[in-house]
Amino acid sequence: MKSSQFNTPRQVKQYDMSNKAGRRWDVFCRIVDNFGDIGVCWRLSQQLAHEHHLQVRLFIDNLAIASKIIPSLNAELPSQTINSVEICTWPNADEDIKPADVALETFSCELPATYLEAMQASTLWVNLEYLSAEPWVADFHARGSNNTKITRHFFFPGFTDATGGLIRETNIFQKNQKLAKSPPLQCDFLQSLNLVHDDALKISLFSYPHAPIPSLLNAMAESNQRIHCYVPISSILPKVAKYFGVDSSQLNTIQTGEKFSQKNLNVTILPFLSQSDYDKLLAICDINFVRGEDSWIRAIWAAKPFIWQPYLQTENTHITKLDAFLDLFYSSCDETARYSVSEAHSAWVADNITIPVWQNYLNNLPTIKRFTLQQANQLAEQTDLAAKLVIFLQKLSVKV
């Protein structure tokens, strides 16, 4: 990717709407893919509240799952305020809720019918779409649909200035870089997880369960260098345990802190990490396997080599999304390194990472590392998603 494709760097400004129309925002989140939807919504809601001084209500349809991401959340309470965000249960059909100035519908989750009916003409309605690097995104970003009494605007995140940008809190990139460059800080974090800091290659593994996990673990075990692989508790644990010969009757009993070894590979099972700790894990690892949307973007801000697994879709739509991202992000990368990245991603989504494919990726890792840092640094100079949303809603409020 040429630097011009990420457009001209600029100073990112905080936009304060506290004294303008659109101060109160309602964010709606249906949890479809376990943690991805709520992960994005929770990060965005906090950023809107803290950096843009907005009153934010976050409506969630499954508080039990959300509590994994928000540990202090009480799933039994219909409403509670955490970190300056009011978190509410998804409205029932008979609930009378006064709509806010802005209704932010995330990922086409569909607003509750009673809420939609109560919305006034002055309510600003935005649907935040899923992230994609496909070229058509820029053409559809910020368009409106007039199928109802209120215009519904479609906001597309993306990697260029012609889109809605990427979710990124102030200074997250700089904080990650500080950690990545400080062995003492890394050591402190690893010790907090009962891990040892040494010179082995560090890899984090977070994926969907249909990924070719056994072939990846085998390729790691057969690689020419020692590897520490950190696996936060998730649905892939049975596959990890099975690879190491755990009896089938015990596959679902793997606990935090358990360790497995095979040749050059050491695997440690980590607890389900807070968003802050997961960011730190990504920043100290040499390679990060990530999935969906939330962890994908966090891997970019970690500025370390990563292999992304898109959410599985029909008609191979996920492959189209993957190819579009690889073409955009790595277009100006060294040809040999770029091929190794593409080969590794293709193998990961095609159900088999062979030893030669993995070793070729490792052979090109220094080049991939330098390039990833360069690209992440350029993206961090763009206006972020929350700021672009606020600017967009400011302009809309003037027209209403």
CA atoms within 13 A on the CB side of 170: 13
Domain harbouring 320, CATH code: 3.40.50.2000
pLDDT band, very low/low/confident/very high, at 3 (cuts 50, 70, 90):
very low
* Average pLDDT over all residues of the chain: 91
Residue 161: its pLDDT value, please? 93
CA atoms within 13 A on the CB side of 83: 14
What is the mean predicted confidence (pLDDT) over 186-197?
Answer: 95
Residue 141: its pLDDT value, please? 93
Say if residue 218's pLDDT is above 90: yes
Residue 120: its pLDDT value, please? 86
Cβ atoms < 10 Å from Cβ of 345? 23
Domain harbouring 75, CATH code: 3.40.50
Q: What φ, ψ does residue 143 adopt, rounded to 5°? A: -75, 155
Query: E-assigned strands of 314-387?
Result: none
Angle between helices 172-180 and 183-192 (to 10 degrees): 100
Residue 328: its pLDDT value, please? 97
Residue 397: its pLDDT value, please? 76
Task: Indicate if 103 and 178 belong to the same structural domain.
Answer: no
Say if residue 13's pLDDT is above 80: no
Ranges 17-21, 101-105, 154-158, 329-333: which has the least confidence = 17-21
Task: Indicate if 247 and 149 belong to the same structural domain.
Answer: no
Q: pLDDT: is 398 or 140 the higher one?
A: 140
Q: 39 lies in a domain?
A: yes
CB of 119 within 8 A of CB of 113?
Answer: no
Catalytic residue numbers read: 37, 293
Angle between helices 275-284 and 36-51 (to 10 degrees): 100
Task: Indicate if 340 and 230 belong to the same structural domain.
Answer: yes
Task: Indicate if 127 and 208 belong to the same structural domain.
Answer: no
Chain Cα centroid distance, residue 281? 14
Residue 333 domain boundaries: 172-379
**Structurally, how many domains does the chain consist of?**
2
Task: Indicate if 181 and 275 belong to the same structural domain.
Answer: yes
Task: Indicate if 162 and 179 belong to the same structural domain.
Answer: no
Task: Indicate if 231 and 156 belong to the same structural domain.
Answer: no
Say if residue 146's pLDDT is above 80: no
Say if residue 252's pLDDT is above 80: no
What is the mean predicted confidence (pLDDT) over 191-211?
Answer: 95
Say if residue 132's pLDDT is above 80: yes
b vs e for 28-59, b when ≥16 Cβ sit within 10 Å of the residue's Cβ?
bbbbebbbbbbbbbbbbbbbbbbbbbbbbbbb
Q: 8 lies in a domain?
A: no
What is the mean predicted confidence (pLDDT) over 176-191?
Answer: 97
Q: pLDDT: is 311 or 250 the higher one?
A: 311
pLDDT tens digit string along 356-379?
999 999 999 999 999 999 999 999
Residue 366: its pLDDT value, please? 98
Task: Indicate if 89 and 133 belong to the same structural domain.
Answer: yes
What is the rounded CA–CA span in Å between residue 26 and residue 29?
10
What is the mean predicted confidence (pLDDT) over 140-158?
Answer: 88
Report percent pLDDT > 90 for the chain: 80
pLDDT band, very low/low/confident/very high, at 323 (cuts 50, 70, 90):
very high
Residue 121: its pLDDT value, please? 84
Residue 5: its pLDDT value, please? 52
Ranges 4-13, 45-54, 90-99: which has the least confidence = 4-13
Q: pLDDT: is 3 or 310 the higher one?
A: 310
Q: 37 lies in a domain?
A: yes
CB of 165 within 8 A of CB of 158?
Answer: yes
Task: Indicate if 116 and 259 belong to the same structural domain.
Answer: no
Task: Indicate if 262 and 309 belong to the same structural domain.
Answer: yes
Residue 2: its pLDDT value, please? 41
Residue 6: its pLDDT value, please? 54
Q: 1 lies in a domain?
A: no
Place of tokens 């697994």: 309
